[in-house]
Structure 1
Amino acid sequence: MNLWRRLSGRRRTVALAGASALVAGGLVTLPVTAAHAATQCDVAYTTNDWQGGFTANITIRNIGDPLNGWTLGFTFPDANQRVVQGWSARYTQSGRNVTAQNESYNGTLATGASTSIGFNGSWSGSNPRPTSFTINGVTCNGGTPPTTTPPTTPPPTTPPPTTPPPTTPPPTTPPPGGPRVDNPYLNARGYVNPEWKARAESVSGGSRVSNTPTGVWIDRIAAINGTPDSQSNGPMGVRDHLDEALRQGAQYIQFVIYNLPGRDCAALASNGELGPTELPRYRTQYIDPIAAIQGDAKYRNLRIINIIEIDSLPNIVTNVSGRAGATAMCDTVKANGAYVQGVGYAIGKLGAIPNVYNYIDAGHHGWIGWDDNFGPTAAILREAAGSSGGSPANVHGFIVNTANYSALKEPYFTVNDRVNGQDVRQSKWIDWNRYVDELGFAQAFRQELVRRGFDSNIGMLIDTSRNGWGGTARPTGPGPQTSVDTYVDGGRVDRRIHAGNWCNQSGAGLGERPRANPEPGIDAYVWIKPPGESDGSSREIPNNDGKGFDRMCDPTYTGNARNGNSLSGALPNAPISGAWFSAQFTELMRNAYPPLS
């Protein structure tokens, strides 16, 4: 993750309502005929069209006997209509004929139960919707209404009903959940990712923390449905995790939405699969499928927390032309609006789901804490929140220190201290920053965000997964008052060589365990970066996941202007970003603060 990277506010009580309009293709509800007693079904097919492409969302409702496995079939009216990429089912197409077979997690449908699937498609000429659907070979469309023989005598004008009709017909699917709660973490049980739990328990002592809720990173399109990658991550997709959360009885689950075009424009270790001009693909092949799954009524009582696009918006403040950290990629995504529009679209689409809570990434104090960065970053966050269908009302809060190492609190000095008549802000470590730790920064930045137009009740999260800085090297008191540098360096618990170092930091430890409402203005301490997952490889490693090699992950690298030309402080022998790094996990446990028992 990028170097310059990276309350409990009492929140709005009225839930966000509505969803993005489905246009062009319209809605088709196709009731089944009674020709087959066992299999009866109802299919709703909607599309969102644009020139040459479309997204289709399909809801299948079983109104017959229980199903244990299903195959949906339909025929495109036009020979140029094609399925490009689907989710929540296995798609095949032969000519104009399409079949979609259930996945392992949605094959069982009780009577009255429904499931939602979808796909992205292409077309040329026109995009007419299918007129007939089958489930397991049985027609679901009802066809033309049956012809009937006119009665020989007119029916009574108003036949008396045998039972009073219902005032409102029953819904075909369960209604969405109620209004959002103020703090989704408060008095709530979090989801434990079984894939991370297994890796943690593979390391001696890992069982002490393996039941801790961590973030689930959706860092490429394939991760939506879940496929193994070169990092040897497990095959669980978004729906798999949601289903497992229901099985666990969890009340909240945390996803990291992380696949912007030109992702992580100022670094290489966590570059992504989408080029800087692929915003349409980000919307239709990444955000839309995630929204379709998260919006399934099956999950309406689960608090779905989305961490939106790590290290994105601050990059187009600090790492563009005119700044020391400028890169051509950051200039490109600022100029074409990929980051602003992408984040806006994500929060709008996902925020329309009543049980979703969006927290946007806001960097960390060692990146945004300077006057030149503080206000402009808040301004760009506000701009993005109102872009491409988004609204500040779609933002429940913000997160700082995601996947970073900045200390939660510096107990032995403050930014206002003076040594021998000198302000400690002059020290090399602080370097005129107005903040020395994440808690003070998060609380102050929240106030700035409110001033810029966000709801006065927004909440902040702080990622404490790797900022404990415990162990035998942790200071126990202030440093010597011989100079501002000896005072700060001798007393600071954050022992990085430079606050700009971000990759697999040597000496780091697990931080505060996740808990809700720990300080004023803070919704929760969270572990969004799963401890033990690498920030990037310490040498170039070819891979198929778009992960590059950044010299900031090389322990021999002597630095650049962004980290004061200091050594990187990175651990050796690290795998690519996101891969399991057991040596790091062992060190994080050893240096945990508070210590592990």
Structure 2
Amino acid sequence: MSANLTRRLRTAAAAAALGAATVLPIAMSTPAAHAAARVDNPFVGAGVYVNPEWSANAAAEPGGSAVANQPTFVWLDRIAAINGVNGGMGLRDHLNKAVQQAAGKPFVFQVVVYDLPGRDCAALASNGELGPTDLPRYKSEFIDPIAAILADPAYANLRIVTTIELDSLPNLVTNAGGTATATPACDTMKANGNYINGVGYALAKLGAISNVYNYVDAGHHGWLGWDSNLQPTIDTIKQAATASGSTLGNVQGFVVNTANYGALHEPYFTVGDSVNGTTVRQSKWVDWNNYVDEASFAKAWRAKAVASGFNANVGMLIDTSRNGWGGANRPAGPGPKTSVDAYVDGGRIDRRFQTGNWCNQSGAGLGERPKAAPEDGIAAYVWVKPPGESDGASSAISNDEGKGFDRMCDPTYTGNPRNNNNMSGALPNAPLAGHWFSAQFQELMRNAYPALGSSGGSDTTAPTAPTGLAATTTANSVALTWSAATDNVGVTGYDVYRGGALVGSTAGTSYTDTGLTASTAYSYTVKARDAAGNVSPASAALVATTQASGGGTGSGCTASYKVTNDWGAGFNADVTVTAGSTAITTWKVSWNYGGNQQITNLWNGQLAQSGQAVSVTNLAYNGTVGAGASTSFGFGANYSGANALPTLTCTATS
């Protein structure tokens, strides 16, 4: 799978024994009146197909029986897979087994549709059999036969969930058309339109079947989490969804993190955190991304997709098959606040070298088990990528599957601009993409989170960590608020810790700590408790400084201005804001230009310019700056003539 780019450069015998289906835990008990009737969320109240072939492979592994009954997607990654490869089960075989497992109850069958012409134009490990001009073959030999089988009345009571063409459309945004990470193959696919038309054709043909639910691949946060990538990708998917006779109504939702490793939630830091006035977005790991985990990315994607014209009830799926990141190396709390990089690197659970690394990642673990409606805005956690199936070979292997050798699957590879020249982080001795990789399966079980045996029932899963911890201070108190945690047995309360010591508990999402000393910094975290007695990880830590006795406001800050690049007709500049002897909660920097400088874009601040007069105020995440600490903003501007440095005025409230 080539979902690997950042913005910057960025057996059969055992099968017969498996007849029972897995029913996903649900947050409501509303049974579907009839499985063929279209519903908003096909996973709610339904069982989900357990693939006997994958289950047999898993059960044959030491300890694998612990997860062998989990539902995974069936992959159609070549024309031959429709009828079965090397004596294996074909699509109709799987559907017949699904009908048997369903036993007349609402039931989901999951399938990946993945054989687009010129597939995976930005990678080699998962290239396919069809060349860039093979759109007619794709339609007549791949999509048409699949549609004919899915439309068979024998399967009309199944809820058939598809994942449509991984990586293809995002590649047209980040890897084609003059981008810094463009490849000739992606340029070709953008020019000939076969990705757009192929996806549109698949959506139209499959969407015409009343019990099919199409979910389009939407990359992952470490690929598309920047404004310059996210909306353009939604726009490209919209173009595809209205191509080749399709309409937006053929898209029931989107799936993120497919076959990837992005953390579901990062419990110990948020994108809004800052360290000594420096936003975590400035850290090397986050790299100015707007998101740090898949759940926040998925919810933002959904909102933007609906705003772009997609149906208001589109659903979001998250592939959690390999993003658990448990085991001995999982952090137990936030990183140190010595620097923004130390804070992020010390607290992040995603242990990859870089979010662009995508092939057989060392240290990865099984993530959340498949589950319907697990949190607000998410239709289901699913296992799209069957754990134990390789992402790609770690060395060149001759094959007749059209799969090449991608150096990102080589553990000795030192990287390229697409992953900011980091090591690949791949496991050694890996087979071809899609082939069983025992060492990877064992690695995933060792590092599972929740750990194997700890989350089989709904009464043993810890709540998520509270998020969005914020504070308002007086001279002698700190008023804390946070966003609610989630759990499938119900969160009943929260424990508040100051400096690691429990100072109070509350049933709500706010708490006021009193009797404090003026002008003093205090560190807080919050944990959630549920009805079964499970306790969440700690929230990201918040340092709050009480006000000076008597409170008040004042100038409170200084500001410095530095031109970082000047090319004669324009320039870039950075401004650093430094708090005085007491912490500040808001700031404003003002100046007057002596020439015709006009700011065209500004980051990390709110700009107001009228003629020569300029003022910049803080954003929500960088207004609070500790005593003597600094934060910064930057901008680009146009000008002609002289570009003299202005005199700055900085004011703040504490």
TM-score (norm 2): 0.64
Match of 1:195 in 2: 53
Residue 178 of structure 1: CA displacement?
A: 4.5
Gap runs ≥5 in structure 2 = 7-33, 454-654
Equivalent residue of 2:48, what SS? coil
Rounded Cα–Cα distance in structure 2 between residues aligned with 1:239 and 1:507: 36
Aligned with 1:205 (options 49, 52, 63): 63
Match of 2:90 in 1: 237
Contact 2:36/2:158 (CA < 8 Å) preserved in 1?
Answer: no
Residue 321 of structure 1: CA displacement?
A: 3.3
Rounded Cα–Cα distance in structure 2 between residues aligned with 1:306 and 1:423: 39
Letter in 2 for 1:455: N
Aligned with 1:180 (options 29, 35, 38): 38
Gap runs ≥5 in structure 1 = 7-175, 229-233
Rounded Cα–Cα distance in structure 1 between residues aligned with 2:71 and 2:154: 21
Match of 1:485 in 2: 341
Work out the number of aligned pairs and report it.
Answer: 423
Q: Does 1:570 align with 2:464?
A: no
Q: Does 1:473 align with 2:473?
A: no
Rounded Cα–Cα distance in structure 2 between residues aligned with 1:273 and 1:534: 18
CA offset digits 1:182-229 (Å, max 9, x no partner)? 11111111111000011001110000000100010000001001121x
Residue 177 of structure 1: CA displacement?
A: 7.1
Rounded Cα–Cα distance in structure 1 between residues aligned with 2:92 and 2:430: 30
Equivalent residue of 1:313, what SS? helix
After superposing on structure 2, the runs of 4+ consecutive aligned residues of structure 1 that deviate more than 4 Å are none
The change in CA–CA distance for 1:177 and 1:405 in structure 2 (over 3 A counts) is closer
Counting only pairs closer than 5 Å after superposition, residues 428-439 of structure 1 correspond to structure 2 as 428-439=284-295
Letter in 2 for 1:359: Y
Contact 2:177/2:190 (CA < 8 Å) preserved in 1?
Answer: no
CA offset digits 1:453-479 (Å, max 9, x no partner)? 100110000000000000010001000
Residue 5 of structure 1: CA displacement?
A: 6.1
Percent identity, aligned pairs only? 68
Q: Does 1:516 align with 2:372?
A: yes
Contact 1:5/1:364 (CA < 8 Å) preserved in 2?
Answer: no
Structure of greater relative contact order (alpha carbons < 8 Å, 6+ residues apart): 1
Match of 1:221 in 2: 79
Rounded Cα–Cα distance in structure 2 between residues aligned with 1:401 and 1:3: 8
Rounded Cα–Cα distance in structure 2 between residues aligned with 1:178 and 1:511: 30
Residue 323 of structure 1: CA displacement?
A: 1.5
Counting only pairs closer than 5 Å after superposition, residues 411-490 of structure 1 correspond to structure 2 as 411-490=267-346
Residue 421 of structure 1: CA displacement?
A: 1.1
Rounded Cα–Cα distance in structure 1 between residues aligned with 2:66 and 2:183: 42
The change in CA–CA distance for 1:592 and 1:177 in structure 2 (over 3 A counts) is closer
Match of 1:167 in 2: none
Residue 235 of structure 1: CA displacement?
A: 1.4
Letter in 2 for 1:467: N
Contact 1:307/1:358 (CA < 8 Å) preserved in 2?
Answer: yes
Letter in 2 for 1:191: Y
CA offset digits 1:412-463 (Å, max 9, x no partner)? 0010111011111010000000000000000001011111110011000000
TM-score (norm 1): 0.70
Contact 2:35/2:157 (CA < 8 Å) preserved in 1?
Answer: yes
Rounded Cα–Cα distance in structure 2 between residues aligned with 1:554 and 1:368: 24
Contact 1:218/1:258 (CA < 8 Å) preserved in 2?
Answer: yes
Rounded Cα–Cα distance in structure 2 between residues aligned with 1:4 and 1:198: 30
Match of 1:320 in 2: 176
Letter in 2 for 1:336: N
Letter in 1 for 2:361: Q
Rounded Cα–Cα distance in structure 2 between residues aligned with 1:328 and 1:302: 41
Q: Does 1:248 align with 2:248?
A: no
Match of 2:639 in 1: none
Aligned with 1:293 (options 149, 158, 176): 149
Counting only pairs closer than 5 Å after superposition, residues 330-369 of structure 1 correspond to structure 2 as 330-369=186-225
Rounded Cα–Cα distance in structure 2 between residues aligned with 1:401 and 1:497: 17
Contact 1:5/1:314 (CA < 8 Å) preserved in 2?
Answer: no
Equivalent residue of 1:403, what SS? coil
Rounded Cα–Cα distance in structure 2 between residues aligned with 1:541 and 1:178: 44
Q: Give the aligned CA root-mean-square deviation in angstroms.
A: 1.2
Counting only pairs closer than 5 Å after superposition, residues 379-398 of structure 1 correspond to structure 2 as 379-398=235-254
Counting only pairs closer than 5 Å after superposition, residues 549-560 of structure 1 correspond to structure 2 as 549-560=405-416
Match of 1:2 in 2: 2
Equivalent residue of 2:326, what SS? coil
Residue 550 of structure 1: CA displacement?
A: 0.0
Equivalent residue of 1:195, what SS? helix
Residue 179 of structure 1: CA displacement?
A: 3.1
CA offset digits 1:232-283 (Å, max 9, x no partner)? xx51111000001111127111000000000000000000000001111100
Equivalent residue of 2:169, what SS? coil
Contact 1:261/1:275 (CA < 8 Å) preserved in 2?
Answer: yes
Letter in 1 for 2:69: N
Letter in 1 for 2:282: Q
Equivalent residue of 2:342, what SS? helix
The change in CA–CA distance for 1:3 and 1:363 in structure 2 (over 3 A counts) is closer
Match of 1:20 in 2: none
Contact 1:5/1:311 (CA < 8 Å) preserved in 2?
Answer: no
Contact 1:405/1:502 (CA < 8 Å) preserved in 2?
Answer: yes
Rounded Cα–Cα distance in structure 1 between residues aligned with 2:421 and 2:85: 40
Residue 405 of structure 1: CA displacement?
A: 0.1
Equivalent residue of 1:360, what SS? strand
Letter in 2 for 1:4: N
Match of 2:488 in 1: none
Q: Does 1:546 align with 2:402?
A: yes
Contact 2:114/2:165 (CA < 8 Å) preserved in 1?
Answer: yes
Residue 3 of structure 1: CA displacement?
A: 4.0
Contact 1:3/1:562 (CA < 8 Å) preserved in 2?
Answer: no
Contact 1:501/1:568 (CA < 8 Å) preserved in 2?
Answer: yes
Contact 1:554/1:572 (CA < 8 Å) preserved in 2?
Answer: yes
Match of 1:115 in 2: none
Equivalent residue of 2:336, what SS? coil
Rounded Cα–Cα distance in structure 2 between residues aligned with 1:583 and 1:179: 42
Residue 401 of structure 1: CA displacement?
A: 0.1
Q: Does 1:525 align with 2:381?
A: yes
Contact 2:3/2:219 (CA < 8 Å) preserved in 1?
Answer: no
Contact 2:111/2:162 (CA < 8 Å) preserved in 1?
Answer: yes
The change in CA–CA distance for 1:564 and 1:5 in structure 2 (over 3 A counts) is closer
Match of 1:594 in 2: 450
Letter in 1 for 2:246: G
Rounded Cα–Cα distance in structure 1 between residues aligned with 2:51 and 2:135: 30
Contact 1:5/1:363 (CA < 8 Å) preserved in 2?
Answer: no
Residue 565 of structure 1: CA displacement?
A: 0.5
Rounded Cα–Cα distance in structure 1 between residues aligned with 2:382 and 2:428: 27
Aligned with 2:391 (options 535, 543, 548): 535
Residue 324 of structure 1: CA displacement?
A: 2.1
Rounded Cα–Cα distance in structure 1 between residues aligned with 2:271 and 2:179: 25
